[in-house]
Amino acid sequence: MCPRNIPKSPILEARMTSPRPTGPKSWPSIRAYDGPHRARVAMPVGGIGTGTVSLGGRGDLRDWEIINRPAKGFAPRPAFLALRTRDATGSIAVRALEGPLDDHLYEGPLGATAPTHGLPRFREATFHAAYPFGRVDLQDPDIPLHVSLGAWNPLVPGAVEDSSLPLVALQIGLSNPGSTPVEASVAFVLRNFIGTNGETGTPNRNVNEFRSGTTADGRTLTGVLLRTDGLADTDECWGTVAISTPMPDVTTRLAWTSAGWGGALLEFWDTFTATGHVTPIDANPSDHSPIATIVVATSVPAGTTISVPLTLSWHFPNRLSWTPEGIAVGLGGGANAFGPPVIGNEYTSHFSDAWDVAMHAVPCLEALENRSLAFVHTVTMSDLPSEVQEAALFNISTLRSQTCFRTPDGNFWGWEGTFDHTGSCYGSCTHVWNYEQTVPFLFGQLARTARRLEFIEGTRDDGHMAFRIALPLDLPAARERNASYPAAADGQMGCILKAYREWQLSGDATLLHDLWPRV
């Protein structure tokens, strides 16, 4: 993992000579959304098979789909970023790093439905995207800086592991157009929500821990690890989350006060406003979901731009099989109405927890950003119409969603799609995945695992290919199901064409030799 010597096309090689980006404002953009349009856009950010957190159109972090299943609409309360500025005259301004709330978010049974809806926000926001890079440009006349909130995850064709990191890399771009320096502090606030996936479960005995370590490139990484003592280590929701930064001037808080009726939020806001830092508070033993906070303090010299990096990382190893409850959504029977449901995640085999993810990834992010930008520039600097560029890049996001996952044996799997909280139609359905093109052309290693599954696990000696494959593969009942499941002629014919394509793209003679008897 981390950057390796991966073959590059001449075009990609040329793009690598471009100057180092100076922050999210320098990222390419294919499409911009403002006004009412930003309410309808969110960009999922995460690695292949890791799940995602989405950057919303106004700059909010929404749809936290990192605990092994879809979770549309779920976000910890609170989970936000904030900015404090102090100019040369001593004037202080503080804002949540979000644009204005849309009108419909003020209309709920108990009033506003948006988390932390009472916080002051920037007056205007415009969302820009060229996947996997998304940024929100924020404007407010009372803020003496030009502000951009960017989020991305490495996407490097051919580099599967580097494109499968379970994290959101955040960059807060701060530009000072004035003639005097401006002090700036950026806060990242996150409740420890471990124990719930957005639909079921409740946090219990959760713990936040201060963490600090020296990364491979010699920087000090500071942050908070969010974990739990209230779940068995086999539970689907068991795992860890971390928020971190390599910036030098950092303060942390592992819990907020226990004041009710918004008092805890008000205490944090007052402290952050007054000092630009946070001070430690003892955790309340009765608080099973304490709130973690890190604050980065810096200064933006006149006429310059700086970027404040923050990382959100996660590690949830206990993925369940297709339908552990024995009910296949959209089908008549259970995809796995038998046997142990835990099948695991490939990405968690590389790390011990979410802090280990950050310690590994942070030293690599600059190089991976350059390589990801090189790929995106290959598309955006082409003569293709913007609509084609958008279709080519934006649809890659499905590869990082909960539609797709990898098991610890390295195999790549996919639902037909996802509903808000469940997968839709299990088994890497052959005649649905026939028309997918991203995986073979960008990550052929994964496509070749899919071909092996179709022809070796899903095909009998008499040539009958099941068009869905049950899990776990090593369970006798699953093998029996795979041997008896119906065939789909269009799916099977497509798999033959795909096997030929994978051999053409890779020259993998071993693959062709292994598959040929059943092709």
Contact 517, 458 (CB under 8 A): no
Closest CA to 41 of 63, 10, 11: 63
- Answer whether residue 335 shows pLDDT above 80: no
How high is the pLDDT of residue 22? 66
Q: Does domain 10-368 have CATH number 2.70.98.40?
A: yes
Tens of pLDDT along 408-455? 999 999 999 999 998 888 899 999 999 999 999 999 999 999 999 999
Parse the chain into domains and list their residue ranges.
Answer: 10-368, 385-518
83-111 in b/e form (b: 16+ CB < 10 A) is bbbbbeeeeebbbbbbbebeeeeeeeeee
Tens of pLDDT along 454-468? 999 999 999 999 999
Q: Is 150 helix (H, G, I), strand (E, B) or coil?
A: strand
Distances (CA, A) of 127 to 40, 43, 64: 11, 10, 19
Tens of pLDDT along 489-504? 999 999 999 999 999 9
- Answer whether residue 374 shows pLDDT above 90: yes
Query: Lowest-confidence range among 2-11, 216-225, 407-416?
Result: 2-11
How high is the pLDDT of residue 9? 41
Average pLDDT of the segment spanning 113-126:
92
- The model's pTM is 0.94
How high is the pLDDT of residue 4? 43
Tens of pLDDT along 50-79? 999 999 999 999 999 999 999 999 999 999
Average pLDDT of the segment spanning 221-233:
98
Question: Is the four-CA dihedral 355, 357, 361, 363 of positive or negative sign?
Answer: positive
Assign 212 a pLDDT band (cuts: 50, 70, 90): very high
How high is the pLDDT of residue 116? 86
- When the pLDDT of each residue in the chain is averaged and rounded to a whole number, the result is 92
How high is the pLDDT of residue 1? 60
